[in-house]
Amino acid sequence: MLMIPGPTPVPEKALLELAKHPIGHRSDDFSKIMAEVTQNLKWLHQTQNDVLVLTSSGTGAMEAGIINFLSRGDRVLAGTNGKFGERWVEVAKAYGLEVETITADYGQPLDPEQFREKLEADTEKQIKAVILTHSETSTGVLNDLETINRHVKAHGEALIIVDAVTSLGAYNIPVDEWGLDVVGSGSQKGYMIPPGLGFVSVSAKAWEAYKTANLPRYYLDLGKYKKTADKNSNPFTPPVNLFFALQATLRMMQAEGLENIFARHQRLMNATRAAVKAMGLPLFAADECASPAITAVAPTQVEAEKVRSVMKKQFDIALAGGQDSLKGKIFRIGHLGFVSDRDVLCAIGALEATLQMLNVEGVTSGAGVAAAAEAISQ
């Protein structure tokens, strides 16, 4: 049972699609699938913008989202409060961009005011883009995209490039209403299919910037993807079976409805957090900035890795550990994508038993499950 923030669980409908024979990617049958998938991706992104599909992980989608719209030496402002925010700084630097960072400690959200100050001070409009990770998976923090984006809009010039890899399909991100220029995501997160596809939505303003952008690009040249997507095709051979699976899960998402999807993730988050609190374990991120996709727990009475190990061995439930400096300090419970109330109740019950098996003091038997049940019933 996968309770990690990607790859996430895959429904049987999608798994069965993966077992089919592939079809030709230049066939009419495949064009029909492309047409439906493209339309449904726009629905999911709440946008009329292009939503392009790459054969890559989420990082490839974000790299494409950065390099297609900027030129060597361009100034960009990047928010970093975890591993993924830091990754986009590395990508930007690798391509010769001049990166200024706004930083917050791990477990803390980025301060929108710092973005406002930097953007307002830039009267010569030299900042070409603001790069932001919405849900920082490494810490379980949800950054305030809406407010930060408002400051970017007030600046007028800079593009906003968003890593929505663990927020798209979990949290309301109205791309058109907010005017988000570039939004990157990946198939193994909220999309409920295995890893292998990256998604990038691109606004008209970003396409304007594309015309003069001069960073090197070939496989990740989004112009190629747009040109072919307009004809329901692809520049290169796509993973045909992942498209079959994506067609199936997008239909499932449409049947559930966006509001219900967001409400479910909110409920799973609330239940998980209430349970963790009731078990006396400290949460790594505050309630005000909690990610709907992932809850990071920073236990003090027991080693995080021991918890993960018993959860895996005894219950066959995979939790994620901490990355780099957070290794051994936190464990992370994913509740993103194809995850139900039942799954969370099960994981919490197993976690409670794990704590008892590890003789963790101060844990009231049943308190976690009771708190989760209470949160779910609200």
Ligand X SMILES: *Cc1c(COP(=O)(O)O)cnc(C)c1O
Residues 297-326 that bind ligand X (CB under 6 A): none
Residue 137 binds to ligand X (criterion: CB under 6 A) = yes
Shortest Å, Cβ 67 to ligand X:
15
**Which one, 217 or 251, has the nearer CB to ligand X?**
217
Residue 133 binds to ligand X (criterion: CB under 6 A) = yes
**Which one, 163 or 181, has the nearer CB to ligand X?**
163
Residue 196 binds to ligand X (criterion: CB under 6 A) = no
What is the token pair recorded at 282? 């400290």
Shortest Å, Cβ 189 to ligand X:
6
What is the token pair recorded at 303? 């080693």
**Which one, 54 or 279, has the nearer CB to ligand X?**
54
Per the CB < 8 A criterion, the answer to whether 162 and 202 are in contact is: no
Residue 143 binds to ligand X (criterion: CB under 6 A) = no
Residue 330 binds to ligand X (criterion: CB under 6 A) = no
**Which one, 53 or 165, has the nearer CB to ligand X?**
165
Residue 291 binds to ligand X (criterion: CB under 6 A) = no
Q: Residue 376 corresponds to which amino acid? A: I
Residue nearest ligand X (C-beta atom): 58
How many residues make contact with ligand X (CB under 6 A)? 14
- Residues 6 or more apart whose CB falls under 8 angstroms from that of 14 comprise 192, 193, 245, 246, 248, 249
Per the CB < 8 A criterion, the answer to whether 320 and 334 are in contact is: yes
Question: Which helix or strand (DSSP H or E) is residue 262 part of?
Answer: helix 258-278
Q: Where are the alpha helices (DSSP H) in 95-160?
A: 112-121, 145-155
Residue 106 binds to ligand X (criterion: CB under 6 A) = no
Shortest Å, Cβ 265 to ligand X:
14
Report the distance separating Cα 89 and Cα 80, nearest Å: 8
CB atoms within 10 A of CB 364: 11
**Which one, 6 or 368, has the nearer CB to ligand X?**
6
- Residues 6 or more apart whose CB falls under 8 angstroms from that of 329 comprise 298, 304, 322
Binding mask 56-75 for ligand X (x = CB under 6 A): -xxx----------------
Classify residue 324 by its DSSP letter.
G
- Residues 6 or more apart whose CB falls under 8 angstroms from that of 31 comprise 231, 232, 233
Per-residue CA distances from 372 to 153, 174, 198, 349, 362 (Å): 39, 29, 33, 9, 18
CB atoms within 10 A of CB 20: 11
Residues 155-184 that bind ligand X (CB under 6 A): 163, 165-166
Shortest Å, Cβ 142 to ligand X:
11
Residue 6 binds to ligand X (criterion: CB under 6 A) = yes
Residue 84 binds to ligand X (criterion: CB under 6 A) = yes
**Which one, 80 or 135, has the nearer CB to ligand X?**
135
What residues make contact with ligand X under the rule CB under 6 A? 5-6, 57-59, 84, 133, 135, 137, 163, 165-166, 186, 189
